[in-house]
Amino acid sequence: KSRAAGRVLSPATFVTGIASISYFSMASGGGWVIAPDCRQLFVARYMDWLITTPLLLIDLGVVAGVSRWDIMALCLSDILMIACGAFGALTVGNVKWVWWFFGMLWFFHIIFALGKSWAEAAKAKGGESGSVYSKIAGITVITWFCYPIVWVFAEGFGNFSVTFEVLIYGVLDVISKAVFGLILMSGASTGYEAI
């Protein structure tokens, strides 16, 4: 039991640690550059996302019981999505929106897999794992839908102040990472049967 639970709790632990380092970097005045549009851009956030969001997907995939290939494919889509967002944030003019569009193509691939094929695999698996998957996938899909909207008004149009942007992304990160981890831990008592 404890070994199976460790397979899902270890990535969640790293997610929290990496996000903590990223936010400490930003809070201590580092981890940012001036983007070409003269806006402060926190690259520490993108570095955090490049590492932590694939770890979240690994947890989701393990709990759902999908193949390693399916997990790897979705992690690569995620990395491409984050890279497109970062390149868009570092670009001025209409090219920024081309990057956003490509990022959204990868985003919808992820959302579709989480809501369709991975959800079906978790449901077929049944038990506590299926219930936990449903909760953490729900949190992931809902919060991840908010990120590109914030990007449009922050990095995209520049309508949000940098302070408000940091606050909104911070709240989303707490929900999508810390709350995710707490729910994941709630299922650990069962040992995630069949993992």
Could you report the per-residue pLDDT of 30-56, keeping only the tens digit for each? 999 999 989 999 999 999 999 999 999
pLDDT of 1 higher than 60? no
pLDDT in tens, 113-138: 999 999 999 999 888 888 899 999 99
DSSP 48: H
Whether residue 27 has pLDDT greater than 90: yes
The span from the CA of 15 to the CA of 23, in Å, is 12
What's the pLDDT band for 9 if we cut at 50, 70, 90? confident
How far is the C-alpha of 164 from the C-alpha of 159, rounded, in Å?
10
Beta carbons within 8 Å of 23's beta carbon, 6+ residues apart: 48, 170, 173
Q: What is the C-alpha separation between 140 and 176, in angstroms, rounded?
A: 6
pLDDT over 70 percentage in the chain: 94
pLDDT at 192: 58
60: phi then psi, degrees, rounded to nearest 5:
-60, -45
Q: What angle do CA 30, 142, 77 make, to 5 degrees?
A: 70
Asked whether the predicted pLDDT for residue 187 surpasses 80, the reply is no
Under DSSP, is residue 192 helix (H, G, I), strand (E, B) or coil? coil
- In this prediction, residues 74-88 reach a mean pLDDT of 98
Tokens of 168: 């909104």
